[in-house]
A and B are shown apart, each in its own frame.
Chain A
Amino acid sequence: MLTFENIGKQFPDGTVALEGVNLHVPKGQFCVVLGPSGAGKSTLLRTVNGLVEPTNGAIAVGGVPVTRKTLPAIRPRIGMIHQQFNLVLRASVGVNVLAGALPAVSNWRALLMLFPKHLREKACGLVDEVGLQAEHLHRRASDLSGGQQQRVGIARAFILDPSVVLADEPVASLDPKISRDILALLKAESRERNATVLCSLHQIDLARHFADRIVALRNGRVAFDGLPDDFDEGVASDIYGDSISGSLIKATPRQRAVA
C-alpha cells in the first residue's frame, strides 16, 4: 500500500532528517515507527501526504506516485492524527469531525456549512463509535479533555474512510491509561476499514503491544524493521542509546512538558 524508495530529506538549513529509507507497508498493516527525538519520524510520516517534500527518492500510495500533481487526489484518501490533536478549538465537536470531510464537499456547500445528509449521519455515528456521547456534538472542542479531543481527532481522520492513516505521536500528550484506550481505538477503527496505519510512538511497550510491525529510525536511517517480538531490550538500547533503557522511554521530559 505504501512504498518508500530510497527516501532522503535535507531541510534548507542543512539538517538531514532522512537518508536512504526503503520501506514497503502492505495494505491493512499497523506499522509503528519508533526512534529517539529528532530521528526523523515526523518527517517520514509527513512525506506521505506531501506536507514535507522529500529531496530524494519516490513514494507511492496504492501504486500512485506522490507528486505535486497527484497530491490533490491522494490527500483526501489519507487521514491524519496529530500529537496536539490540531482541532479548531472554538468550533463544535460536530463541525470538527465534519471538517475531515471537507475535500469531498463542494466549495459552496462548505461555505454555507451545508454538509450532505450522509456525511452528517456518518459524523454522528463516528462520534458515537469513538466513545463520545451525542451531547458532545455541540460542545466546543476546547471544553473537552485531551483524551476526548484525540477521540474527535480520530473521528475526523476516519470520516472519509481513508485507505491510509498517519498518526504522528497520537498519544504523546496523554497519560498511560488513556494512551492505551486511544491506540486500541485507532487500531479497531483501522481494522474495520482495512486501512494501513503508519503511527509514530515514543513508548516501546505500547508499540510492542499494538504494532503488527515495528520500524525504528535512528539519525534518519532505518535501524530496525521487524516483528514487535524481535524488538527487545538489546535492540532498544542500540537505537535509543545505552544510557536509556526501554522503561525510561515511556515518559521522556519532552512528553511531560507537552502534557
Chain B
Amino acid sequence: MLRTARSSATAGRLDPPYGTRTILVVLLAALLLWYTGQRVEIGRMLALTGDGILAAVGIKEDSQVSSGLGKVVGSLFPLQISERTEVTRIEGFDASRLPWFAHIEIAEHREQRLNPQTLSMEETIERKEYLVEPLGYLGHVAVKMFETLEIALWGTIIAVVLSIPLAYFGAKNYSPNRLTYFLSRSTVSLFRAVPELVSALFLVLAYGFGPIAGILALGIHAAGFLGKFYAEDIENADDKPQEALRAIGANKVKVIWYAVLPQVFPQYIAYTLYILDRNVRMATVVGLVGAGGIGQELKGRYDIYNYSHVGTILVVIFLTVFVLDQISARLRSRYV
C-alpha cells in the first residue's frame, strides 16, 4: 500500500488523455448522428451508391443510380457546338456577307395540305434556308461565360468598396463610438447570413433579369465576409507604430493609412483573391435565378430540354474554373 503510493508519487502517472466525460460526449454525439442520419436517409444513400458501384464493375445487372447517370450523360453528349438559325428570322440578312466559317443550308419540308378549291390533299414542298455557323453556339457560350467573369469581377469590386467603411467602423479601436461599431458589425453579419442565391432571387425582382442583380448579390455577400476579416485584421495589427503616429498628433485616417495598412495589406490581397475565386463559381449559380451570365443560359436551355446545349455549357464552366484555379494558385504563390 505504502509502496504503490510512493511509486505513483515519484514516477508520476500516465492516464489515458480522455476521461468518462469525454466518452459520454462522444457517445451522445454518435447517438445524435445516428438520429439525423435516419432522417436524411443516409442508409438508402449508401445502398444505392453501393448498387451503382456493383453495376459499374459488372457484378450486378442494373442499378437506379448508374442508369440515371447514364441517361444524363447520354443526353448531354454529343455537345452542341454549332448554331442553326432560320434565315428569315435574321434581320437584315445579306447572303453575300456571311459571318466567318458560316454557310447556308437549305432544307425541304414536305407537307400534305388540303386544297380548299379541289378539296383534295396535295403535297406542298416548303423550302427553308438556314444559316449554319459551325462554332456559333460555342461562341455564344463563351460570350456568356465572359459575362459571368465580369459579374464576378464587379461583384468583388463592389464587395471591396462596401467593406472598407464597414471595416473602419467595425474595428473596435477606430470606430468613433459603440453605436457605429455595433451597426457595422451587425450589417456585416447580416450580409454574410444571406446566401447569394437568395438575395439574387429578390434582386432580380428589383432590378430585372440580367447582370446587375448578380453583381449586387455577390457584392453584398462578399462584403460581409471582407468587412469582418478586414476589421479583425485592423484590430489585431501591431499597435507600436500606430502609437508612434498617434503620439505626434496624426489623425485616425493618417494612422490607418501609414501604420495599419502596410501591416494588413498582404492579408487583404489574399482575402480579396479568395473572394474573386469564389465569386467566379457563385456567379454561374446566381445566373440560374436570372441574374445574368452563363447560369441564365444554362437554366434557359435546361427548361426547354436542350440537354446537348447544357452539356456544352457545363464543359465550358468546368474548363474555365479549372484554368482560373491554376492562374490564381500561381498568383497566390507569387504575391502572398
Contact = CB atoms under 8 A, between A and B. Distances in A.
A80 B244 CA distance: 7
Nearest to B244: A86
Interface in B230-256: 240-241, 243-251, 253-254
Contacts of B244: 80, 82, 86-87, 99, 153, 156
Contacts of A153: 244
A51 B254 contact: no
Q: Number of contact residues on A: which range applies?
A: 20 to 34
B241 A103 contact: no
Given A87-B241, A88-B241, A90-B262, A107 B254 contact: yes
A166 B248 CA distance: 11
A74 B247 CA distance: 10
B82 interface: no
A258 interface: no
A171 interface: no
A103 B249 contact: yes
Contacts of A74: 249
B257 interface: yes
Name B's interface SS.
helix
Contact of A103 (B240, B250, B259): B250
Contacts of A111: 253, 257
Contacts of B247: 49, 51, 75, 78, 80, 166
B202 interface: no
Given A82-B240, A84-B240, A102 B262 contact: no
Contacts of A103: 248-250, 254
Interface string A72-112: 10111011101010111111000100011011000100110
A99 B247 CA distance: 12
Contacts of B258: 88, 91, 95, 99, 102, 110
B93 interface: no
Contacts, number: 71
A111 B252 CA distance: 12
A199 B100 CA distance: 81
Contacts of B245: 99, 102
B249 A71 contact: yes
A12 B22 CA distance: 41
Contact of B249 (A72, A84, A90, A107): A72
Interface string A50-75: 01000000000000000000011011
B240 A102 contact: no
A78 B246 CA distance: 11
Nearest to B246: A51
A160 interface: yes
B254 A76 contact: no
A86 B241 contact: yes
Given A76-B249, A87-B241, A99-B245, 12 more contacts: A49-B247, A51-B246, A74-B249, A80-B244, A82-B244, A90-B263, A95-B258, A100-B248, A103-B248, A103-B254, A107-B253, A110-B253
* Shortest 10 CB-CB contacts between residues of A and residues of B: A75-B249, A86-B244, A86-B240, A102-B250, A90-B262, A103-B249, A88-B241, A80-B247, A76-B249, A91-B262
Interface of A: 49, 51, 71-72, 74-76, 78-80, 82, 84, 86-91, 95, 99-100, 102-103, 107, 110-111, 153, 156, 160, 166
